[in-house]
Amino acid sequence: MILADFQIRALCEAGMVTPFDPTLLNPASLDLRLGDNILIESAEGPTLVPCSIAGHTPQNPYRLVPGAFCLAETQEMFNLPNCIAAQFVLKSSRAREGIQHLLAGFADPGWHGSRLTLEIKNVRQLHWVGIWPGLKIGQMKFMKMDSTPLASYAQTGRYNGDATVTASRG
């Protein structure tokens, strides 16, 4: 069952998402905003390199050139209860601008103390697309589990406690 706005609000007010801004509520989701940090490719090697986009604005965005791939973080931190799962969905406005999300935004029950890391790419062929902290990048839909899992992500997860954008751990 996908949670409604009033259910999402109650869970967020209890600490499921921080900071919680009620203006970001939708009927069945919560808008998420980009944070200050990204990881970008470098010609020096295959390892993604940290980059701050703090200070970039809608008037002076960080430019993702055509074909560029980066990992980005959300401003929001998550502490999912053991009875709630969540799924990230890119905002249609971002898709219409040429940003693509690589569909790895599932959050298991018990995922906690972490910002969501997003895998984003500029799929435009000729023009850059801009990103900046605070950009509404997507929305999280929350689903109530039919029952509590035997072992939640709090016990099994490798990406708990990620306070910033995080590269693959294999």
Q: Which positions are catalytic?
A: 119
Burial bucket for residue 148 (CB in 10 Å: 0-12, 13-18, 19+): exposed
CA distances from 166 to 82, 144, 145 (A): 23, 26, 27
Sequence-ordered list of residues with C-beta below 8 angstroms from that of 77, at least 6 positions apart, any chain: 17, 18, 113, 114, 115, 163
CA–CA separation, 126 and 50 (whole Å)? 25
What's the Rg (C-alpha) of the chain?
Answer: 16
